Amino acid sequence: MKNSFIILSLSAALTLAACSSESTNSTSANQPQSSEAAAPHLIGSWEGKAEGKDEVAYTAGIYEDKIVVEWNLDEHGSPVYWVGTFDPTVEDGVVTSQIDHAATETALMASSDETKDFTVDGDEITFPVSVQDFQTTITLTKTNDTPPSLDPTAPSDATTSFVDGTLETSAVKIAITDHRIIQPGEEGNSYGDKPIIAFFYDITNKTEKNVTVDDFSFYFDAVQDNDPNVVNELQFASYDADGQFEKQMQKIKEDGTASGVRAFTLDDETTPVDLIAHGFGSETEIDRVTYPLD
């Protein structure tokens, strides 16, 4: 379910970029090595902004023989879009990059293409991006001759943790305060025909960026391990008490805290539910908490 939220976010970002004639990318990557063979005008940090916006929309780092592109999603960080090798001797023209599977296999927002063509034209680089049926072309402009020094395959936030029901990231703090099993017809599950598990939480915005109460959905999955063959990921359910639906989309001020509820439809009423925390845009599990149903 989290994937659908991410796809919506990316589609919105791409739509904004497509409305402008200029868009770009810049990111973080492996510590570069000096090389006289690489085209010197390519190596460095690259970025771009959507039209009418001050925030960087895309970021990229180009190294001796590697291109790294990341989404810039404000408070949600910079999920990896592309990590791949390329021919460093190219001055201008089309550069074909081969994907680095090890660096992208757990990145939900990474391209699934085996190769990607980057067109070098002087001080600009363009490349295609597609999300579902939406396609656009991204234009990169150089900001620095030194590429970022971070490893894009490593966690972007060393402080990220999920301990005792509290998720801490650089952007948000989400503390689970309660959980309840709600039967069909009971308050909070008035219209459903199956029992649900509802997680009550407090979410704090640790940045000056936009964070909503429902951003919980970007960071958590719930599963019931009752299938020997496949992961049984639970579907989101509607919690319809206390006007919560409207409250979920409220924006939280910097350093502000608001309360929310996120519910999941239970597959059965005996198997414990694992609440799994992820980084935004990643399938890499931070940790999990198990909630018995009895």
Tell me if 153 is assigned to some domain: no
Tell me what pLDDT residue 18 has. 46
Number of domains observed in the structure of the chain: 2
The domain in which residue 266 lies consists of 161-291
One domain, residues 25 and 99: yes
Tell me what pLDDT residue 116 has. 94
Tell me if 217 is assigned to some domain: yes
Tell me what pLDDT residue 180 has. 96
Tell me what pLDDT residue 112 has. 85
pTM of the model: 0.59
| CATH number for 268 | 2.60.40.1240
Residue type for position 291: Y
d(CA 82, CA 45): 15
Tell me if 225 is assigned to some domain: yes
d(CA 127, CA 124): 10
Predicted confidence pLDDT, tens digits, the chain (294 residues):
555 445 445 555 555 444 443 333 434 334 434 334 446 678 899 987 654 455 567 889 998 889 999 887 765 567 788 899 988 777 778 989 999 887 777 677 788 899 999 998 888 888 888 766 667 788 888 998 888 864 444 444 446 899 999 999 888 999 999 999 999 999 999 989 999 999 999 999 998 877 889 999 989 999 999 999 999 999 999 998 888 888 888 999 999 999 999 999 999 999 999 999 987 766 778 999 999 998
One domain, residues 20 and 127: yes
Tell me what pLDDT residue 74 has. 60
* DSSP per residue, 234-248: PPEE---STTHHHHT
Tell me what pLDDT residue 197 has. 98
Of 114, 144, 174, which marks where a domain is finished? 144
HSE at residue 257, side-chain half, CA atoms within 13 A, is 8
